[in-house]
Structures are given as C-alpha cells and as structure tokens.
Structure 1
Amino acid sequence: MSRHSSARVLSNDEVQTIDEMTKSGATPHQIMSYLRRRNPCIKAVATNIYNTKANILKASLGGRSNIQVLLEELGNGGFLFDVLKDEEDHLTHVCFAHPNSVQLSRSYSNVFVMDCTYKTNRYNMPLLEIIRIRSFNTSFYFCFIFLKSERLDDYL
C-alpha cells in the first residue's frame, strides 16, 4: 500500500513537524525517524519529506523567484550588492559584500586571495570568494561573486 501516493499523504500535524524540524536544522533522515517513532504505521518515505520541504519553501517565497528573494534579503540585511544582466535580461553576475567587510578591507588592504568553486550550485554558476588577509595573519571574507563562467572577461 505504501507504493501508492494516496496512502503516503501526510497529515497537517506531520507537515507542521517537518517545517519546524527543517527550521531547526534536522536532516530528512532525522525527520523521517522522528515521524516513525511518533507513528509507527506511517507510510511516508523519504521522497515525501523532500517534496514537503520543497512545497514549504515554495510557499514561503510568496510567488517570487529565488533570485528576487536573494536580492531582497541582501538589501534588507544591509549588504552592498550589484548585478549584471545580458541583452536578454538574464542574470549573469551577482556580487555582494557586507559593509563591515568593505570597511575592514580599506584598513587592511595588503593581500587578496581569490578562490573560485566549481559549478556546484543549482544555477551552474561558479562562486568566486575574495578573502582579505590582515597583518595579524588572520583572514576575513571580503565579497562573493556568482559568475556566468570562469573566463577572463567574467573576472574583469
């Protein structure tokens, strides 16, 4: 019976539990274990947990795209940010930095270290991290930039 999706429908209480546990950092495996301890007869599988989490996230976005939410959160958080778009109005670059990081970099401007991750996010955009090293041999993040690709003109 658990093969049929109609048998795996979660109750409102279970959906609320998934939401609360997700907000507290629990993994889907931990959530599933907790739900099974509370109700040994539950027919839900891990896919139900993932789908419920996705639906909760989608509802929390209020019809906005992930990028719109990101830019809104950066603005509300006081971050300095800039975006570049191509001719077709597609987002190609997003650069953001916290004002404290900018202020620190003005005081300690000796060394920059740049590291670009591989395209590990859902948009296949490399993430460039720029780190500053202070004279005390400590470091701090200066800014982050999502790039369209890793070509020279993207870095410029």
Structure 2
Amino acid sequence: MIVVMKKSDFGQVGRKPRIDFACERHGSYRRHNYDIAQNLEGHSYAGRLTEKGTSILVNMAKKHVRPKEISYTLKQNDDTNVSTMRHVYNACQKFRLKEQAGRTQMQQLMNRLVENKYIEWHRTYMETNIVQDLFWAHPYLVDLLRAFSRVIIMDCTYKTNRYRLPLLEIRASSYEGH
C-alpha cells in the first residue's frame, strides 16, 4: 500500500502545523481489511513517469501519437513502468497546457502556422483586432496548385456545426455592364 499526504495545515495563530496521512487507495487513516497489493499498477504514486518517460511522452505527443501507443511505448522502454492510461492522458494534458503558455486558441494557431512555415494571410477588424478572414496553405500544396491549376480541393468542415458559421465563404462580384 502507499501512504500519501491527505491534507496539511501550516498552522495559524494558536494552532500547530500538522499533516494528515492516508492510504492512497482508501483515502482515510482508519484501518483497512484488504490484502496488500502484489503490484502497484493503478496507484498514482507508483505510476508517475520518470524524466526519460516524460521526454518520450512529450516527443510522441508533439507528433500526435495516440495515447494508447504512447502507453505501449513507455511500457516497452521501462519494465518497471506501472502507469495507467489516466497517467498518460493527464501528462499529455499537462504538456499541452504548458505548450500554450496562456495564449488563446487563435494565438496558438497563428504561432503554429509560423513555426511550420505555412503560407498565411489574415485580415482583422481595425477597431477590435478580431480576425475577420484567415487563409493558410502548406507550401507543398501551393507547389501542387501551380502544377495542377485546374483542380482545387478545399476543406471547410472544421467545427462548422459548433459555431454555426461557414469556414469557407467565396463571394463573386457580378458585372452587369451589358
């Protein structure tokens, strides 16, 4: 079994500092009647990732590898690894939050476009600095467009139902001079 710190009190005026310990599995400090575990799989303390495991997880998460495959790789590289999928999910979430560094989703997107050398163009409303129009394309796709200029495929399905806004809107001005 693993004993963890349940709560602590630094002590205020007239009170002594104290720490309450508890069994990680049960959550209180009363007696338990279950057998001692033969392995520590599922215990949060034992499932912590090592520095090497964390670096493997970060590298794989950057490449958008599925958490199931990350967990498999971690267990292959370390025979003593008893982390669960929950540990992997939590570590991936912690990495993503750290990577965002307080930026909004739009700031994160613009940053990624620059990092990955995408061709990007945007227009904002002057008064509010809100993005009005945004276009991006991978440089390789621009080369393909130059080679095959008669075929264009555009994907405009990203969360259109969630925001009820079209992602792709093409306007053509008509000329009625005749």
In 2, are the aligned partners of 1:18 and 1:31 still within 8 Å (CA)?
Answer: yes
Structure 2 counterparts to residues 2-151 of structure 1, below 5 A: 2-23=41-62, 26-75=65-114, 77=117, 79-84=119-124, 93-97=133-137, 101=142, 104=145, 108=149, 110=150, 112-117=152-157, 119=159, 124=162, 149-150=165-166
Report the structure, 1 or 2, having the larger helix content.
1
Question: Does structure 1 conserve the Cα–Cα contact (< 8 Å) formed by 2:123 and 2:134?
Answer: yes
TM-score (norm 2): 0.49
Q: Cα gap change, 1:150/1:4 in structure 2, threshold over 3 Å: closer, same or farther?
A: same
Q: 1:7 to 1:69 in 2, by over 3 A?
A: same
Identity %: 24
Contact 2:47 2:83 in 1 (8 A): yes
Q: Residues 87-137 of structure 1: CA distance to partner in whole angstroms, max 9, x if unpaired?
A: 9766565322357739956x93x565555326389xx45xxxxxxxxxxxx
Q: Tell me: CA distance 1:92–1:16, structure 2 relative to 1, closer, same or farther (3 Å).
A: same
Q: Would the alpha carbon gap of residues 95 and 7 (structure 1) be closer, same or farther in structure 2, given more than 3 Å must change?
A: same
Greater relative contact order structure (CA < 8 Å, 6+ sep): 1
When residues 27 and 94 of structure 1 are mapped into structure 2, their CA distance, relative to the original with a 3 A threshold, is same
- CA-to-aligned-CA distance 1:61-94 (integer Å, 9 cap, x gap): 3332332132134346262311456x97665653
Which consecutive unaligned segments of at least 5 residues does structure 2 have?
1-24, 26-40, 172-178
The offset of 1:30, in angstroms, is 2.2
Provide the secondary structure at the position in 1 that maps to 2:111: helix
Alpha carbon RMSD of aligned pairs, Å? 4.2
User: Is this contact kept in 2: 1:19–1:53, CA < 8 A?
Assistant: yes
Equivalent residue for 1:140?
A: none
Q: Which has the higher strand share?
A: 1
Q: SS at 2:121's partner residue?
A: strand
> What is the TM-score normalised by the length of structure 1?
0.54
Q: Is the 8 A contact 1:83 1:95 kept in 2?
A: no
Q: Number of aligned pairs?
A: 130
